[in-house]
Amino acid sequence: MMGALMRLTKYSLLAIVFSLILISSEILVQIRQQPFKGAKPDLQSIITQHPQGWESIPGSSVDPSTNTPYDLVATQIYKRADGKEASIVMTWSFDGFHRAGHAQEVCYNSQGFTVSTPRNSSVMVGAQKLDVVTFEGRYGDMTEDVIYWRVTGGIHDATLQENIPMTQRFKEVPRILIGDIPSNLMVRVSTWRPATDPPSTVHIDYIKSYLQSVSPNTRHFLTGL
């Protein structure tokens, strides 16, 4: 029992120290970080590219300047020849520390969806494996099948929130302290279905075709791969 108490005290102390470092680093970030000087990506142009067999639904794009914590937002719905639809959303911020794309399961839950437990999965894009987070969001008698991932500073990230180790967070502190703030991109793809239907793969079909249809540079920007 004494050993367990000592371990608890040790980890509690580490948590407190880490919290203090983060608070200090956030203050320093506000002092040190410089205005973004690079060219912002043209998300609207990127998202309007689409593979053969899919057509955009007129009027489905949302004004990116309305009520968003991100620097850029783009969204579009595409319909396949069989009538099935897939929705794609992209958010981008030059400050990937303070304004990174949110964990989407948290956003869905806050909007009244009943959200399944998120889990890691992967999608094969040609010969490359794209790691994603996947979950279902139920609203009334409809369910939305969702996958998403993030790219921070050009590095692919599909880590579940609860699985981010403290050691990884410690590794981010030096970068934060010197004001080297990475950009952040979040990509979410989803499709709706009646709640009684089995899980759909329409959104996965779309993203596989889409990523194989864009240029290598665009694919790298979107996935970090």
What is the pLDDT, as a whole number, of residue 27? Answer: 47
- Rounded Cα distance between 91 and 100, Å, is 9
Per domain, the residue ranges of the chain are: 33-223
User: How far is residue 146's CA from residue 190's CA, in Å, rounded to a whole number?
Assistant: 4
In a 10 Å sphere around its CB, with 0-12 CB exposed, 13-18 middle and 19+ buried, how is residue 139 labelled? middle
Whether pLDDT at 38 is above 80: no
Taking 80 as the threshold, does the pLDDT of residue 68 lie above it?
Answer: no
Fold topology of 33-223: Protein Transport Mog1p; Chain A (3.40.1000)
Amino acid at 51: P
Average pLDDT taken over every residue of the chain:
80
Kindly tell me if the per-residue pLDDT of 31 is higher than 80: no
pLDDT at 177 (0 to 100): 55
pLDDT tens digits, one per residue of 88-135: 999 999 887 777 888 999 999 999 999 999 999 999 998 899 999 999
What average pLDDT score do residues 174-192 get? 80
